Structure 1
Amino acid sequence: MKNGIKVFLCLLLAFTLFPFNSLEANAQGNDVSVKLRNYLGNKKTVGVDVVGEYLVEGQNDLTLVSSKDYSVKLENGELVLYTGNSRIKEFSGSFTVIPKSYGASNYISINGRDYLGEIEFTIEESYIRPINTLPLEDYLKGVVPYEMPATWHKEALKAQAVAARTYAMNYVGSVIDDTIRYQVYGGYIWDSSSYDTSTAAVNETVGDVLKYNGNLISAVYSSSNGGHTESAANYWGNSHPYLVGKPDPFDPQRPWSLTIDKQQIDTSGLDLKNPSEWWNSVSEKNSDLAELNNIKAYINKDFYPNTEIKIVGVPKLTISGKNSSGKSTNGSLTVDFFVKNADGSYRMEDTSELPDDYSNELAGEDRYGTSVEVAEYGWAAGADSVVLGRGDITLDALTGTVLAKKYNSPLLLTRSDRIPPEVLTEIKKINPTSKRVFLLGGEQAISESVENSIRNSGYTPVRIMGETRYHTAVKVAEQIQNSSEVIITSGNENSPDALSIASYAAKNQIPILLTRSDRVPAVVSNYLKKHNISKVHIIGGTVAVSKAVEDHVRGLGISNINRVQGEDRFATSVAIAKEFKYDMSNVIFASGYLFVDALPGAALAAKLNAPVILTRQDRFPNVVRGWLDGLSNQPFIHYLGGPVAISENTRDEIKQTLTASINLYTLTKEDVGIGTLRNILGGTLFKSYHITNVANSESRVTISGLGYGHGVGMSQYGAYERAEAGHSYKQILSFYYEGTTLQ
């Protein structure tokens, strides 16, 4: 090839066209219909401009003119034509615009690219898909310079024009598209002098097609055959006598190579149990990203859609076999990889066994029995006092966890009208040294009957109460001395946020105050002012505790406000565990919806300095899974409540999270057709089957080859060299399509 020829790779690589049944047709007088996909992409709005005039088919009063800007939008399943911001017309299905007269005086622009002829606007898979219909010869003027550089020798371009025309004739009467799947079509670009040679090549061969035994041939071509054409029989298994394998001395045998390191990620220093710690900071070799991205695309498409892939290594890449054309036929590939799901979780596998006693369940026959089980577990050695809360409304009892911690007391639950026998028995068993039993709430919460049962058992009931839950929380807070900070959370009894923060508040003796969502109760506001509070932790998002509440607190002169929140109750419990200091040797799991079971567990959590983490009953939330997976230690697990609160399936997921490591998957392709390897690695990198060398070292593999594309039919670079050597386009076509006739 002479100096100055530029490699026109992007559009010449790997143009694979498949044989089709022959169709007898005359090239002249035929229209071609082309879906505009390659340059337009998938759009729900396209800009439309016209030069001259375009008529809307079936709309006698609607004409598009060059003085206006138009657009077509897909709205509610209909195509809508606009001029500027004004709707002109809605169309169900499709509509077609036709030039007032065909030719260069009337053409249309779609998103800035010009087209001759008519345009039908259709809907395809929820996107606008224009279809351009125009005469075959003008279509070819937009194809030839996109398949072969427009400045190349005219004889080469004429050979390209005949091959492209012959190929297109097989599709007359059907709809093709403008991509490499058929032929790349650039629209009406040939009005520029830059395309004079390619346009002349089409005009000077007008109507010429190639036939074999009177039938149109499959006029396939590729960029470069590597010095030897490939036969159709070898490549497709279809015997076409005019597509034979033979040496091509004029093909420049353009070289290429592909190199991949066998190890992409060194896993020896990674904590495979906690991939979240390193996933975003570990990556493959930058030098191999193009090849690896193609492999990832293949894995995503065929095996793990909508996931993120990290390739650990490519330990095997080999090429084997040769056919009669000297092209390689087979190969093997092994790829090791990790998978991260779209929801942020990782594909894990069990790699170790937990002991049977990795966890315990604190559960009774009902919530009252559960509170007894928790008390026996945490206060078997006795307690100073006992705190008694109402079992059917949670908030009074939750705010009392701070009081329970102050007096080293369990939190037991009672019915409003009577104390369950097992609870009274447990109080007697604990036999608090102070003889005090704190009752949280007024007589509507815990009746006089319960109080009398406590007194008659030899203990002193101490009632802490207020007019409302907000008042009661303040009364409990007043039992706590010398705290300059408070926790404010939702007073909504359906909110579990107070449960998640209760253990930290209790351990650190920080009062828990309740608020309405939209405003701070006066009793709470007065407490903040009276006790010179300097720091406030707000638990929950602005739906639970509004910005108005935060602004009110700030208006009291408290500038140190810390809001802790998550997207939901589960994420909020994780956010609390991350925000505040806990001893992670214990983790307490509670139901995010049946959290009344977990009420007594908040006092136990305070005793253990452990976080209370919420989970769904029937499945383990991903946000919690990620947090547990990221812990540096393996905690002891406490389940508050039985399977009705936390199912066995959820417990299995928690156990798996504690034991699993990220799964190393392997893609294996052993002795497969070389086309499979080229598909996986990408045709723009693995450029042909004409492999000249495979250098396989301990650390990397390099594949070297010649040519670009399948090598069947005409070599475009070979055609250029032949034209430069003085061959006519007829001689070029005669060599590459042996035994055919030009008609």
Structure 2
Amino acid sequence: MSYDTLIDDRVVSTTRLSGSSRYSTAVSISKQGFEKSDQVVIARGDSFPDALAGVPYAYKLNAPILLTNGSELPSDTINEIKRLEAKKVTILGGEAAVSTSVERYIKNTLKLSVERIAGTDRFETAVKINEKLTPTKNQAILVYGYNFPDALSIASYAAKNGIPIYLTDKETIPSITFNSIKSYKQTIIVGGTAVITNKVADKVNNPSRIGGKNRYDTAAKIYSSLMSPYNSDHVFFGNGNGFADSLTGSVLAAKYSAPLLLVEKDKLPSETSNVISKEMYYGYILGGEAVITNGLASEIKKQLMEAK
């Protein structure tokens, strides 16, 4: 659903991209950004680790990220793969995340080629995904591997600029991660010292940290420090307490060169409100009313208008 208002001969709009579930929301996002796509990336819809590093790779493939549960491909996802006329599916994560039955269905019933990118854990999976990238800068991004907000906040920027996203623990950097990330001359660390300590930062080359007092502030600081002055009139809003809609929305945000800002279900945090700017005309609400209420969607529209 879209709500439009004309200001200074330009339309200010908010569009909700949603479905009855996270799986169908991913489909709505895919339909917004892709008429057809030879490739599709599949990630587990109820578990985030394997998908955290996947957005830059999906963007490189010009492919949407669609979601599955562990053992069965949802009908909404199946129908979207068919609509896209995809020829190949890339599964992110091992068999514990996405079962072989899903892989067999794609191969045998949908008659598509399948590639699975997986490591022994979330850290190695991220490394293996990043090996598929062709970085455009001698730069890497390091995020905390046991939570999702920081990775999602920077995903569209990383994707648009071809920068790999690596995962780390709080106090130590896994050897598999270190051995790969050390080849980059500069590392952007996302999140404060409460999620990634200076002990980890000291291990990587030329670290610079973007961190706020909370997840909303970190997302706002990513926009302010990396994506401003604004080169897009689009902006995406995702619930900071859930990963699925923002994960699938990040690929679309990258296509629009747009930031993804975080909100609560029914509240616009001041950190987010403060970076809404006059250049933002087209707002996208990721998820249904159970994720971001209509009241908050109206408040976002009001803020976009008042910024002009």
Say whether the fold is shared (TM-score over 0.5).
yes
Q: Given the alignment, which residue of 480, 483, 487 partners 2:133?
A: 480
Within the alignment, does 1:542 sit opposite 2:193 as a pair? yes
Match of 1:648 among 270, 275, 294: 294
Equivalent residue for 1:446?
A: 98
Are the equivalent residues in 1 in contact too, given 2:12–2:305 (CA < 8 A)? Answer: no
Q: Which residue of structure 2 aligns with residue 608 of structure 1? A: 256
Distance 1:440 1:394 in 2: 10
Shift of 1:505: 0.7
What code does the residue aligned with 2:166 have?
A: L
Could you tell me which residue of structure 1 aligns to residue 270 of structure 2? 622
- Alpha-carbon shift at residue 650 of structure 1 (Å): 1.5
Question: Aligned with 1:552: secondary structure?
Answer: coil
Alignment of 1:427 with 2:81, yes or no, is: yes
Whether the 8 Å CA contact 2:94–2:119 is kept in 1: the answer is yes
Identity across the alignment (%):
37
Matches within 5 A, 1:117-156: none
Q: Does 1:405 align with 2:56?
A: no
Q: C-alpha displacement at 1:562, in angstroms? A: 1.4
Change in 2 beyond 3 A, CA 1:454/1:653: same
Structure 2 residue matching 1:358: 3-state secondary structure: strand
How far apart in 1 are the matches of 2:76 and 2:179?
40
Corresponding residue of 2:40:
386
Structure 1 segment 481-520 matched on structure 2, within 5 A: 481-482=134-135, 483-493=137-147, 495-520=148-173
Distance 1:488 1:421 in 2: 35
- Superposed displacement of residue 356, structure 1: 8.5
Q: Is the 8 A contact 1:489 1:513 kept in 2?
A: yes
Aligned-partner residue type, residue 29 of structure 2: V
Contact 2:14 2:301 (8 Å CA) reproduced: no
Deviation at 1:357, TM superposition (A): 6.9
What is the CA-CA distance between 1:583 and the residue it aligns to?
Answer: 2.8
RMSD, matched Cα:
1.8
Distance 1:600 1:660 in 2: 29
Q: Deviations over 1:718-738 (max 9, x none)?
A: xxxxxxxxxxxxxxxxxxxxx
Superposition deviation, residue 384 in structure 1: 3.2
For 1:240-259, list aligned pairs within 5 A: none
Q: 1:637 aligns with which of 274, 283, 288?
A: 283
Query: Amino acid of the residue matched to residue 641 of structure 1?
Result: G
Distance 1:634 1:533 in 2: 33
CA deviations 1:423-479 (Å, max 9, x no partner) are: 0111111112xx221000000011001001111211111000000000100000000
Distance (Å, rounded) in 2 between the aligned partners of 1:421 and 1:499: 26
Question: Does the C-alpha gap of structure 1 residues 544 and 637 become closer, same or farther in structure 2, counting only changes over 3 Å?
Answer: same
Structure 1 residues 8-28: Cα deviation after superposition (integer angstroms, max 9, x where no partner)? xxxxxxxxxxxxxxxxxxxxx
Distance of 1:479 and 1:578 partners within structure 2: 29
Show the counterpart of 2:72: 418
User: How many residues matched?
Assistant: 298
Displacement of 1:607:
1.1
For structure 2, the residue ranges without an aligned partner over 5 or more in a row are: none
Q: In the alignment, which residue of structure 1 is the partner of 2:20?
A: 365
Alignment of 1:53-202 (within 5 A): none
Which has the higher relative contact order, 1 or 2, with Cα contacts under 8 A spaced 6 or more apart? 2
Q: Which runs of 5+ in 1 are unaligned?
A: 1-351, 663-743
Whole-Å Cα distance in 2 between the matches of residues 604 and 660 of structure 1? 25
In structure 1, distance between residues paired with 2:257 and 2:180: 27
Match of 2:212 among 543, 557, 566: 566
Per-residue CA deviation, residues 262-320 of structure 1 (Å, 9 max, x unaligned), is xxxxxxxxxxxxxxxxxxxxxxxxxxxxxxxxxxxxxxxxxxxxxxxxxxxxxxxxxxx
Whether the 8 Å contact between 2:266 and 2:296 is mirrored in structure 1 is yes
Matches of 1:484 and 1:429, distance apart in 2: 37
Instruction: Write the deviation string for residues 49-105 of structure 1: whole angstroms up to 9, x where unpaired.
Output: xxxxxxxxxxxxxxxxxxxxxxxxxxxxxxxxxxxxxxxxxxxxxxxxxxxxxxxxx
1:338 corresponds in structure 2 to: none
Task: For residue 661 of structure 1, report the CA deviation from its aligned partner.
Answer: 7.3
* C-alpha distance in 1 between matches for 2:247 and 2:59: 13
* Partner residue of 1:595 out of 239, 243, 246: 243
Residue of structure 2 equivalent to 1:683: none
Corresponding residue SS for 1:393: coil
Q: CA deviation at 1:397?
A: 1.6
Moved segments of 4+, more than 6 Å: 352-357
Q: What letter is aligned with 1:476?
A: I
The one-letter code sitting in structure 1 at the alignment partner of 2:98 is I
**Does structure 2 conserve the Cα–Cα contact (< 8 Å) formed by 1:583 and 1:608?**
no
Structure-1-length-normalised TM-score: 0.39
Normalized per residue, the structure richer in helix is 2
Of 174, 195, 210, the residue aligned with 1:521 is: 174
Q: 1:184-333 to 2 correspondence within 5 Å? A: none
Q: Which of these residues, 568, 574, 579, is aligned with residue 225 of structure 2? A: 579
Deviation at 1:651, TM superposition (A): 1.7
CA distance in 1, matches of 2:213, 2:232: 23
**2:203 counterpart SS class:** helix
TM-score, normalised via structure 2 length:
0.92
Aligned residues of 2:11 and 2:281 also touching (Cα < 8 A): no
Residues in 1 aligned to 2:17 and 2:33: alpha-carbon distance in whole angstroms? 10
Letter in 1 for 2:81: I
How far the C-alpha of 1:353 sits from its partner, in A, is 6.6
- Distance verdict in 2 for CA 1:626–1:460, change over 3 Å: same
Distance in 1 between residues matched to 2:94 and 2:231, nearest whole Å: 35
Residues 552 and 647 of structure 1: is their aligned pair in 2 closer, same or farther, counting only changes over 3 Å?
same
Paired residues of 1:416 and 1:446 also in contact (CA < 8 A)? yes
Aligned 8 A contact 2:235 2:280 in 1: no
Q: Output one character per residue of 1:460-506: Cα deviation in whole Å (capped at 9) or x when no partner.
A: 1100000000010000000012452110001013x310000111111
Contact 2:6 2:12 in 1 (8 A): no
Shift of 1:619: 1.0
* AA at the equivalent of 1:461: V
Aligned to 1:343: none
Q: 1:357 to 1:422 in 2, by over 3 A?
A: farther
Structure 1, residues 388-432: CA drift from partner, whole Å, max 9, x if none? 001011131231111101110000010111100110111111112
CA distance in 2, matches of 1:459, 1:562: 42
Paired with 1:498 and 1:472, the residues of 2 have a C-alpha distance of 15
The answer on whether the counterparts of 2:14 and 2:297 sit within 8 Å (CA) in structure 1 is: no
